[in-house]
Amino acid sequence: MTIYVDPKLIGRKNFQKLVLQFPTVNFVTEVTRPTEIEALITMPKIVKEMDLDDYPKLKWIQYLMAGFDGLDLAKFREKNIDFCNAQNIFSKSIAEDVFTKIFYFNRNVKHYIDSKTEKKWEPIRGELELTNSTVLILGVGSIGKELAKRFKAFEAYVIGYRSRDLPEENFDEIIVTEENLNMAIQRADYVILALPLTEETTYMFDKEKLDMMRSSALLINVARGKVLKQTDLINTLKYKKIRGAGLDVFDPEPLPVTSPLWELDNVYITPHNASSSPYMRNRLYEMIIMNLSLYLEGQPVKYILN
């Protein structure tokens, strides 16, 4: 059995451990003979560029990213290929990043950094707490669930928006309709975008949605840049219609040096780095071990999307 593995994200050391743990598998790190490959454990590039007709034996793709935008999952289903993404790998670090962005604004971090540089003793009274705030999380996947768990520790009221009307631990409400979403946007102190990018979510958060937000509210985007209409957000921030925005993703990326977002004082920017963690490689490796073991045993793999 031949399985392709992209070793860059999991690291060479973990790749060698993988080879030793499954001695009966022929692991390859280059796609030179696609007709022999039965499974791909890979980053997006190969999957987005592949012609499935070149892979007659392919049965399983383990994607090493959570987001699957740009992929037509139906074509894998038609070929009876299981497509799995990397769930529960990046959610903890992304959740912590969201709180970093919120505290940047709530605790006036920039002001105190500037004050230290200028050696000025200038306290700001009445800084905001998360306690008793209302939080709207668009997307109740692994990131949304990790966020909700943490927000409940701050005694926040947590609303989740998704397509399925099912209760979820740590969420006070789950909403599914456009009408209820619009009502929740008007109530929320914090609006967090954690949705996958699909045809339905592309540019869903536009001027209409931004105009519904409270002037004291924060918007955080750790989803994909194209979930949010960036030109509309720039105008919203420029005229200070909301308190601010914490952004990790953009449209396009990298964010051009000419973008007005760089100049605005009510936006906190990170370069699509919310998932950064020293534990990422080991978590990916453990997920690969779990799913590869299931696959070799003829058992259903986890996190199938198609």
Sign of CA dihedral 110, 114, 119, 124: negative
- Compute the distance between CA of residue 251 and CA of residue 273 in angstroms, rounded to an integer: 15
Annotated catalytic residue: which of 107, 111, 272, 281? 272
CB neighbour burial string for 270-291, b if at least 16 within 10 angstroms, e if fewer: eebebbebeebbebbbebbeeb
Q: Does 253 participate in catalysis according to the annotation?
A: yes
- Compute the distance between CA of residue 23 and CA of residue 123 in angstroms, rounded to an integer: 62
Annotated catalytic residue: which of 78, 122, 155, 253? 253
Which helix (H) or strand (E) element contains residue 18?
helix 12-21
Annotated catalytic residue: which of 224, 263, 281, 297? 224
Q: Does 272 participate in catalysis according to the annotation?
A: yes
Strand-pairing partners, residue 192, are 137, 220
Q: How far is CA 273 from CA 142, 162, 194, 247, in A?
A: 17, 25, 14, 10
Q: Radius of gyration over alpha carbons of the chain, in Å?
A: 22
Q: Does 224 participate in catalysis according to the annotation?
A: yes
Distance between first and last Cα of the chain: 23
Which has the closest alpha carbon to 265: 95, 99, 104?
Answer: 104
For the CA atoms of 23, 85, 76, 251, what is the dihedral angle to 10 degrees? -140
Sign of CA dihedral 53, 71, 259, 101: negative
DSSP three-state, residue 36: helix
Q: Please list the active-site residues.
A: 224, 253, 272
